[in-house]
Amino acid sequence: MSNANVVASAASAASSVHALEHTLFFVLIQLVIIMVVARIAGQIARNFGQPRAVGEMIAGLILGPSLLGQVFPDVADFLFKSAPSLPINILSQIGLILLMFQIGMDFEFSHLTDKRNRKAVSWISILSIGLPFALGIGLGVLSAPYLASDVPVLPYSLFVGTALSITAVPILGRIMAEYGLTRTHVGAIAISAAAVNDVVGWILLAVISSLALGQFSLQHTLMQLGSLALYCLICLFAVRPILRRLMKRFAFEQARISGDLMAIMLALIFLSAMATFKIGIFAIFGGFMMGVLMHDNHAFVEAWKKSVGDFVMVFFLPVFFTYTGLRTNIAGLDTMTLWSWCLVFLVTATLGKLGGAFVGARLGGLSASESSTIGALMNTRALMELIVLNIGFDLGFIPRDVFTMLVIMAIATTIMTGPALRNRLPRMGHLIPVGIDA
């Protein structure tokens, strides 16, 4: 090799290293800012009686074009546009896969075996999904000519229906812990109905996504659904027994996971995510499914939460919220017409979920105060809503203005839950505990 070639090769290597260090520098700046702002906003939310997740969602809006980009556009561009967004996007997706694994583990299906709960859970699940989903489809068809004229009406309406019908189990669980509802009759019914709600929601999302990605080809869609069914059967009847045998080989001393087991589980989670990606229903579903397989191994669940759970919630969750906030521009709703549509989305979502859950609870034999409490709990959307919205937005079936409206709806419906519970729980004779950090 000539001296000129050696010099050129060295210069190219130096340039590559410099570009990597430049990107790393700004990614680290972004992560520091995200974590600090999210923790501060989360604590402020707690001071106002809201779960941390509400503050973390608002932190995402603060750092995005809705506030920082409006007030200090040069600062926002310097912080979030000086380097490619791909590293943060990948971190947010890895975090979502791990978060969905934890959400899958949090599903407590044992509540569904209680005969006293099954009737109420069944009615609440049917109506709290069916009514808002139907209203969402109707609203999608009605709003499409005005808000989504460049998007096919069917997938747009289906995504709106799914967005309006979802409930956020992880946030709901945190709120129930804060208000001392986890071991109550109402709490058991609400979390069971929410679990069914989210399982159906994920199935809907998988089906709708496969329909959209398959460009409505019946053959392609049936192949995807068949692949999904095969994947679920393999997970339940092949992978699950292997996992149970694997768990017997490890001890959970002081509720901690060994390095070997953590490496094995992370590999399995990511392999499952790769499998669902190849099926065409998104990698995060693979993480969720692996969590479902592990939900009844309570020793592992507790150890995972202590070893990994806090890191996922403190590091990865704010990254996802900020990633969503960077795509949300509230200032883009710059006309009364757009804000009127935003209000329509919010009212429709709230009435659909509250009304469906309330009527379902009454048909299930619960009192009016218990039914209204369950309605308030089921109206919590937060994280799950944002996941649905990001998928629909990435696929191009939710326009930016509608994305912003539905983000506002997700935050607003979650904010409603705390005040509604403080109003309703005393009527049930339930004392609200003090000082529990959800």
pLDDT at 409: 93
Structure tokens at 438: 């959800």
In this prediction, residue 14 carries a pLDDT of: 58
Percentages of the chain per state (helix, strand, coil), in multiples of 5:
80, 0, 20
Beta-carbon contacts of residue 76 (< 8 Å; ≥ 6 apart): 63, 64, 65, 68, 69
Q: Which residues have C-beta within 8 Å of that of residue 208, sequence separation ≥ 6?
A: 155, 158, 159, 162
Task: Give the Cα separation of 405 and 86 in Å (integer).
Answer: 25
Cα→Cα distances 119→90, 182, 363, 365, Å: 42, 19, 8, 8
| Each residue's pLDDT tens digit, 140-165 | 999 999 999 998 898 899 999 998 98
Please report the pLDDT score of residue 399 as a whole number.
93
| DSSP H helical ranges for 48-114 | 52-63, 68-71, 73-81, 86-106
Q: Tokens representing 25?
A: 């520098």
Give the Cα separation of 98 and 82 in Å (integer): 28
Residue 15, pLDDT score: 65
Tokens standing for 186?
């109402």
| Tens of pLDDT, residues 301-345 | 889 988 888 888 888 888 888 888 888 889 889 899 999 999 999
Residue 7: predicted pLDDT: 52
Which amino acid, one-letter code, is at 415?
Answer: I
Which pair of tokens denotes residue 188?
Answer: 């058991």
Instruction: Measure the N-to-C terminal CA separation of the chain; round to a whole number of Å.
Output: 63
What is the full DSSP assignment across 133-169?
Answer: HHHHHHHHHHHHHHH-TTS-HHHHHHHHHHHHH---H
Q: Which domains does the chain have, with CATH numbers?
A: 86-428 (1.20.1530.20)
What pLDDT score was predicted for residue 404? 93
For residue 148, the model assigns a pLDDT of: 92
Name the phi and psi angles at 205, rounded to 5.
-65, -40
Question: What is the residue whose two structure tokens read 């904010």?
Answer: 415
The predicted pLDDT at position 10 comes to 55
Below-70 pLDDT ranges, the chain:
1-15, 107-114, 170, 182-183, 212-218, 221, 434-438
Quote the pLDDT of residue 309: 85
pLDDT at site 347 = 96
